[in-house]
Structures are given as structure tokens and as C-alpha cells.
Chains A and B, each alone.
Chain A
């Protein structure tokens, strides 16, 4: 019997965001949008869900006079991502 996949990560956009954040210190909103190809609205909703679960931390800062939204993965998010990949590997018998 396989454990269930984390439903929060089992969506294309949120999984893509977590896959990006797992490899960088932090990423800003525009970079995530460029990399995922998502609309600003969809990405905002996805990020809010991940932040609400404690998987990522969102910081609102400024670069000069421009507002900047920075996202970084939390230790809880890293663990959830690792577990998600482990379950996937179990499913696929890798």
C-alpha cells in the first residue's frame, strides 16, 4: 500500500514552483512567472496556498522604488518536497 501523494504539491504549477525554489536561495515573483509560464493571478493563488501550508515564505520588499515579492522554500517545504519525490519513486518503483 503506497502512501498518498501530498495534494498540495500534486498540481502542475505548485510543483513547478517548488522545483524551482528547491534549487535556489530565493526567487522573485517575476522570475517564477517567467519560468513557469503562469499568469500573475494563478501564480499568486498558488504561492498563497504554499505559504499557508508553511512550505514557502513570502517576503514583500523593495528594489529601489519597485515592489518585489521574494519567495523562499522553508525546511518544512524541503521535507514535504523530498517526501513527495520519495512517494513518486515508490509508485514508479524507481
Chain B
């Protein structure tokens, strides 16, 4: 005998089921932010160490390409969902947005090379925009806020470049002072901690707390 429901019970069941499914699927929603955030931080610090220790600026250039490789591998090893968990329409939209933004990095590199503009600032702005867009779509104040903070921080790289150009005599720098020129690498790591790692941990903590309550 099938269980029949009153009108109120039906509405409650619909609301509860939708909410439970959403809570379960959002359990590890911070994971991609943590994977990509920590990868960028690690590679930035590696590049900083390589550049400072070798005394050659740009030594670490090719190691930047480890970011997509390591990020992709870690995403496969630690997926956001168990293999039987479905994708929502929002997931699909967000994954397409990030795909477009990731593809945008290639022309950003070309622009940075030919216009001698600041690649750190451009990529930070791209990624921060992705975080803010994600936040707006999933209605997460945390992602939106940290995305906009990241957008603000992306301007620091240009300001630093301007300061370097106008107030530092690069020719006069001795080898021991060359680390000054590498400051953007450290700043880049710091900005990614602020705009990806911190919100990723906050989201995971919040979602796990919500899951344990439901």
C-alpha cells in the first residue's frame, strides 16, 4: 500500500528533499578552490625560491605550467563528488564559466608578453572574476565577497610595477637585492590564499556542519 500524503506533507517533502539533495551535493563545494588555490600558492613559492636562489629573473617561467598539470591531476584524484552523485544545472553552468575563463588565460599571456603588461594582475583579475561570478550564481556571499576582494587585490601588481619603474633603480640593484623584483610572486601566492584557499576552507566547514545537522 502506497503512503498517501496530505497537501502540507507533500510540500514539506518536496522542500526537504530538494534541500537535502542540495546540502549533500554542496558538501565538498570548496574542494576545487582548495586544490587550485594551494597549487598556485605552492608553484608561486617554488618559482620565488628558484628565481631568488638562481639569481636569474624568469628562471622559473616554465614551472608556471605545472599549475594546470598538477591542478588537473589533483582534481581527478580528489573529485568534488562521489562517482554516483549527480551534477546539477548550476554545476554545469559554473564549470562552463570556469572553462571559458581558463581558456582566457592563453590570450592573457600573449597580451602580457607583447604589451609588457603585468601577467600576475591580469590572471588574478580573471580568476577573481570567476570566483565572484560563481558566488553570485550559487548565491554565496563568501565567494562573492572574496572574489571582489581578489579583483581589488589584482590592482596591487600594477601599482607595484609602477613603483618599481619610477622609484627603484633596477640597474643599481645588487644580486642580494634582486628579491625585490620577485615580490609579485609572493604577493601572487598571498592573493590566492585570500581569494581561493580561505573561502574554500570556510565553504567546506560550513557545508560539513550543515550536512552533519541534516
Query: Hey, which bits of chain A sit against chain B, CB under 8 A?
Result: 5, 10-13, 15-16, 19-20, 22-28, 30-31, 34-36, 63, 84-85, 88-89, 91-92, 94
Contacts and interface: CB of A to CB of B under 8 A. Distances in A.
**A-B residue pairs, 10 tightest by C-beta:** A19-B17, A24-B86, A91-B7, A27-B86, A12-B3, A11-B2, A19-B14, A30-B84, A31-B84, A16-B17
Nearest to B87: A25
A92 B7 contact: yes
26 contacts: A10-B10, A12-B2, A12-B13, A13-B2, A13-B3, A15-B5, A15-B10, A16-B17, A19-B13, A19-B14, A19-B21, A23-B89, A24-B25, A25-B87, A25-B88, A26-B86, A31-B84, A35-B21, A35-B24, A84-B10, A85-B11, A88-B10, A88-B11, A89-B11, A92-B8, A92-B11
B89 A25 contact: yes
Contacts of B11: 85, 88-89, 92, 94
B88 A24 contact: yes
B14 to A, nearest CB: 5
Contacts of B17: 15-16, 19-20, 35-36
B116 interface: no
B26 to A, nearest CB: 12
A16 B10 CA distance: 9
Nearest to B90: A23
Given A25-B86, A31-B85, A31-B86, A15 B4 contact: no
A12 B2 CA distance: 8
A60 B213 CA distance: 35
Interface of B: 2-5, 7-8, 10-11, 13-14, 17-18, 20-22, 24-25, 83-89, 91-92
Given A15-B14, A25-B88, A92-B11, 10 more contacts: A5-B10, A10-B10, A12-B13, A19-B14, A23-B88, A23-B89, A25-B92, A36-B17, A89-B11, A94-B11
A23 B17 CA distance: 10
B38 to A, nearest CB: 29
B5 A10 contact: yes
Contacts of A92: 7-8, 11
> Which of B3, B5, B24, B87 neighbours the largest number of chain A CB atoms within 10 Å of its CB?
B5
